[in-house]
Amino acid sequence: MLHRNYSLKQYNTFGLNATANYFFEYEAVHELVDFLAETDLKSHQVFFLGGGSNVLFTGNFTGLILYSGIAGKEIVYEDHDYAYVRVGAGEDWDSFVQWCVENEYGGVENLSLIPGHVGAAPVQNIGAYGVEAKDVIDVVEAVNFETGKICKFLNSECEFGYRDSIFKNAFKNKYIVTRVTFKLSKKPVFVLNYGNVSNYLHDKYGDPTLENIRKTIIAIRESKLPDPSRTGNAGSFFKNPVVTDDVFKMLKEQNPDIPSYEVDGGFKIPAAWLIDQCNLKGYTSGGAKVHDKQPLVIVNTGDATAADILALSDHVRKKVEDNFGIILHPEVIFI
């Protein structure tokens, strides 16, 4: 269905008031393909929107938004070890995780409670608590925006990186994800080595089972992260920066307690720590606020505008750069 001057308030978890000149919602791949064939899209800016949990509408969007409502889950193949589950891009991510846990399919339990739709999982390579979507994605199906052709991409072709994939780079605005097939394990190997996950699990829920891990992750997330259905936010606003070995050595001399994780190309430093060191928890700019419990998150206290959020983001970036010489890059996509 095509709407004009459509409100995006319900379609972005920041809860910002913005409109799109055109908004097309489709529930089947053929509806999308037909629409692309029938519509002259050359003169329009186009954005492919998922659950809206990682976007900041910086103003009214004058182009066309394509919004996937493709639903459905089917087991396409299974053997003793794995189940291959093909899921529509418009399915709610956490409902899918819950379904996996209920059916004893392992692999996504650490990704419990991440807001957004399944279609965004490969684009953003969503991740949490030691697991990333790339660890379980088998195939991504997508429609070529220019030709309307349906294509399949194997995991190895998706160029996954930290919150990154080919769909954010070479294929940006070229392919619209329609379905994702996940390779889920019937004999799961649990990932419990991130932060306090293991201790929390044993203290509160007991043995490591898919259900107990899901409960643990939900409890940890709920203790730190604001619920977007109550307080507008888009999860981590910035990515965790990676600095070279030399820069890290210098930082460590000046800040012996600096937390870090060794990664390819140097050391990853939690942006939350950098922001916390600048004493910015609770700092506000108009209706936007640095979250008190997890300073990597910017929240809408009720009546924030995009300008408030941008001003706050600039302030945080400037403080971190002044204090540590590190430039933070947004994880949230600005539109």
Q: CA–CA separation, 240 vs 287, rounded Å? A: 25
Q: CA–CA separation, 231 vs 187, rounded Å? A: 37
331 binds ligand EPU (CB under 6 A): yes
Q: CA–CA separation, 1 vs 333, rounded Å? A: 25
Residue 163 among the catalytic residues: yes
Q: CA–CA separation, 92 vs 90, rounded Å? A: 6
Q: How far is the CB of 93 from ligand EPU (least distance, A)?
A: 12
Site residues for ligand EPU, 99-158, by CB under 6 A, read: 128-129
CA dihedral sign, ordered 295, 296, 297, 303: positive
- Among residues 236, 285, 313, 317, the one annotated as catalytic is 236
73 binds ligand EPU (CB under 6 A): no
94 binds ligand EPU (CB under 6 A): no
Site residues for ligand EPU, 151-210, by CB under 6 A, read: 195
Q: How far is the CB of 268 from ligand EPU (least distance, A)?
A: 8
Nearer to ligand EPU, 9 or 239 (CB): 239
Residue count at the site for ligand EPU (CB under 6 A)? Answer: 17
Q: CA–CA separation, 38 vs 150, rounded Å? A: 16
Residue sitting closest to ligand EPU (CB): 235
63 binds ligand EPU (CB under 6 A): no
Q: How far is the CB of 225 from ligand EPU (least distance, A)?
A: 6
Residue 331 among the catalytic residues: yes
Count of alpha carbons within 13 angstroms of residue 313, beta-carbon side? 26
C-alpha angle 170-176-178 in degrees, rounded to nearest 5: 135
- Among residues 25, 91, 132, 331, the one annotated as catalytic is 331
Core vs surface per residue 70-93: b (16+ CB within 10 A) or e = beebeeeeeeeebbbbbbbbbbeb
Amino acid letter at 80? H
Q: Which of 92, 211, 276, 321 binds ligand EPU (CB under 6 A)?
A: 276
Nearer to ligand EPU, 19 or 231 (CB): 231
Q: CA–CA separation, 287 vs 120, rounded Å? A: 28
228 binds ligand EPU (CB under 6 A): no
CA distances from 268 to 261, 271, 274, 295 (A): 5, 9, 12, 17
Residue 221 among the catalytic residues: no
Residues in the chain: 335
Q: Which residues pair with 263 in a beta bridge?
A: 266
x/- map, 238-257, ligand EPU, by CB under 6 A? -xx-----------------
Q: How far is the CB of 205 from ligand EPU (least distance, A)?
A: 18
Q: How far is the CB of 114 from ligand EPU (least distance, A)?
A: 7
259 binds ligand EPU (CB under 6 A): yes
Q: 């070229």: which residue's tokens?
A: 174
Which span (16-24, 267-275, 303-311, 315-323) binds ligand EPU, by CB under 6 A? 267-275
Per-residue tokens: 267: 């050391």
Per-residue tokens: 211: 């259900």
Q: Which of 50, 226, 235, 287 binds ligand EPU (CB under 6 A)?
A: 235
302 binds ligand EPU (CB under 6 A): no
- Among residues 112, 141, 163, 317, the one annotated as catalytic is 163
Q: Are 181 and 118 in contact (CB under 8 A)?
A: no
Q: 């009546």: which residue's tokens?
A: 303
Catalytic residue annotation: 163, 236, 331
List interacting residues with ligand EPU (CB under 6 A): 128-129, 195, 224, 235-236, 239-240, 259, 270, 272-273, 276, 294-296, 331
